Amino acid sequence: MNGLATRENSAARAAPPYDCAVWTAELRPLNAPYRARLVVFPHSAAGPNTLLPLVAELPTWIQVIGVTLPGRERRFGEPPGTAVADVVAGVGDELARMDPAPTFLLGHSMGAALAFALAMRLPDSCAGLFLSGQLPERPPDAIDAAAGDAELAAFLHAGGNTAPELLADEEWRRHLIGLLRSDVDLCARASRISAAGLVHVPITAMGGAQDPHVHPELLGSWAARSTAPCATALFPGRHFYLLDPANLAAVADTVSTVIRTTPAFIVAMRRARP
């Protein structure tokens, strides 16, 4: 299931205040040393600033890096559209140049498929996966990139996560439809990788208990896509459960607890002891 554009896009054209490269940027300043890194991949037609409410709830020992695709936020001036291989190569190269740290990937909806592709093709870049609001295989009823503008706009509206005033503005409407169309195609390509791929790191499959697009009883199907353990975590709500203010603390606690108890993190902490 592809995610939707968010209100944050309308106010996110400026470059972020923190050190950034092309694909990645730190999403919050840290006043204390970090012990782990979380790389977040947002849903379709959105940028990583969408996830800032969740990021704010995470403990400060986790550095949070956001992935920005062309055509949104600080890359607003670039034409939308990219290839899975470009995302993997670009993000992977920038992560390789960062200071070493146990690195975990979190993706929501389309972002989950991209996170899985990165973990599969560059296994050294990932100690664990959080895959939210997405299944390994693309649902047969998923919206198609060839859909008309009216259908794509209706899809954005029905999701309830796009500001109505943006869809009412002709320029923004055209931009958001272009973003969604390119991201639907990107998600379809990434889903072909996750449908047949295999990773060797733990997976935490997360979802909303009332998600009409990603049936919660199917989240366990991610277990077949990893040789490591796979756990599921359900929260009240629909597709965008992780942005529901009532769920932010619980989702952040799940993420930080999993990171803290993952073997790669435990080993790294033991090695760091004086």
Sheet containing 128-132: give its strands across.
24-26, 62-67, 36-41, 103-108, 128-132, 203-208, 230-235
How many other CB atoms are found less than 10 A from the CB of residue 219? 26
Q: Which residues contact 66 (CB under 8 A, 6 or more apart)?
A: 24, 25, 26, 27, 39, 40, 42, 47, 48, 49, 51
Q: Which of 107-111, 183-187, 228-232 comes out lowest in average pLDDT?
A: 183-187
Q: Which of 61-75, 124-138, 158-172 comes out lowest in average pLDDT?
A: 158-172
**Which pTM was predicted?**
0.88
Q: What domains appear along the chain, each with residue ranges and CATH number?
A: 7-272 (3.40.50.1820)
| Span 49-78, average pLDDT | 94
Tally helices (H) and strands (E) across the chain: 8, 7
Backbone phi, psi, residue 32, to 5°: -135, 160
The two structure tokens encoding residue 247: 């769920």
For residue range 158-172, what is the model confidence (pLDDT) as tens digits?
665 666 777 667 787
Share of the chain above pLDDT 70, in %: 86
**What integer pLDDT is reported at residue 159 of this predicted model?**
63
